[in-house]
Amino acid sequence: MSLYSICCGNFHQLWNSIGHSCRIRFLKSHSRIISETVLQNRRHKTGPFSTSILARSTRKGSKQSFSNNRHLHGESVESSIEVFKQSDLQHLKSLQCYNIEEKVSGVKPECPATILVFDIETTGFSRRGDRIIEFAVRDLAGGKNSTFQTLINPERVIPNTHIHGISTNMVCRSDIPRFGEFIPILLQYVLSRQMAGKPVLWVAHNGKTFDVPFLICEFQRCKMEMPGDWLFVDTLPIARQLVDGKTKGAATLKTLTERYKIPVNGDAHRAMQDVTALCYVLQKLTLELKITVPQLLENSFRVSDVATTPAKK
DNA sequence: GGCCCTCTTTAGGGCCTT
């Protein structure tokens, strides 16, 4: 099971929706309209395919590696034509072979997890002294209500408006939820997206040392616990398998969007814009490094794996 | 501030996030 097979139709939508990102201030979901092109393509597709390939990290000294097995579906490849370069498609098609088991059963394998790409905006870099002021997430499965974003009231002056454009007056209002009020809404949203008996896989860029510890500290400050079936993946070490990690700026989200020629519109450093960009980057990274969803799960980390210090009282 | 790399490990510096 690859991200390709999960997201092709959704990424097709993403591609078409760039420039039409959510501008919702508080808890309004963003619906997806299924493309007629994708639907038409799917009507003419053959059964599912899968293949096994050898994939190794080429970055010297990299400690993170992903083993093999990728699964592709004919419909995924075909419906992604408008999203990917012809060279990418040729690469994918060259990997295809019949999976007898799937062909006989005719059952399309389900994704082993709900994959949620997310990003936060904060009042600064310190998870102890700063606060989250915006949260955005996109479910790679797509469909209705697949995106969700909200501003969050930090109950303090925002010193870095020049970074994200979010001012104190925008969030320090009675109609903007505090993080403690936001948590149950987030939990309810995630539950609405979660498949029974399967984990939730959160994806963020530099999430291991920034987004996830920030979230954990906010949960702790509100005396709440994260669900035990939440797993996390950081795209930064994955990207560093492809680029020179010692070169300044080589693995930033901005550089990666430029590397893959991903058009980025809208306000810079806003959470949903970065989420949309990261969705594309994730797809491209996993394609280039031949990383499957099971491999992402195998290399994910849990809350207990993140070193955090208590939030300041 | 954690992670990673190296001119390292008895340390120091750069990257990445807002």
pLDDT tens for residues A157-199? 999 999 999 999 999 999 999 999 999 999 999 999 999 889 9
Would you call A232 helix, strand, or coil by DSSP? strand
pLDDT score at A306: 81
CATH class given for the domain over A3-18+85-305: alpha beta
User: Chain B: nucleotides under 7 Å from a protein CB?
Assistant: 1-6, 14-18
Annotation marks residue A269 as catalytic: yes
Q: What is the pLDDT of residues A277-303, one digit of tens each?
A: 999 999 999 998 899 999 999 889 998
**Does residue A30 or residue A14 have the better pLDDT?**
A14
Which nt is closest to the CA of A123, judged by C1'?
B18
Q: Which of A12, A20, A30, A269 is catalytic?
A: A269
Q: Which residue's entry shows tokens 């001012």?
A: A167
pTM: 0.71
Instruction: Annotate A289-310 with b (16+ C-beta within 10 A) or e (fewer).
Output: bbbbbbbbbebbeebeebebee
State the Cα–Cα distance between residues A227 and A304, nearest whole angstrom.
12
CA dihedral A239, A242, A243, A245 (to 10 degrees): 60
pLDDT score at A263: 82
Q: Where are the beta strands (DSSP E) in chain A?
A: 49-50, 97-98, 114-122, 132-139, 147-151, 200-204, 230-234
**Domain locations in chain A as residue ranges:** 3-18+85-305
Q: Indicate yes or no: strand B within 7 A of the C-beta of A139.
A: no
CA-based nearest residue to A37, from A92, A88, A79, A8: A79
State the Cα–Cα distance between residues A275 and A273, nearest whole angstrom.
5
pLDDT score at A21: 37
Count the Cβ atoms, other than its own, within 10 Å of residue A99.
Answer: 19
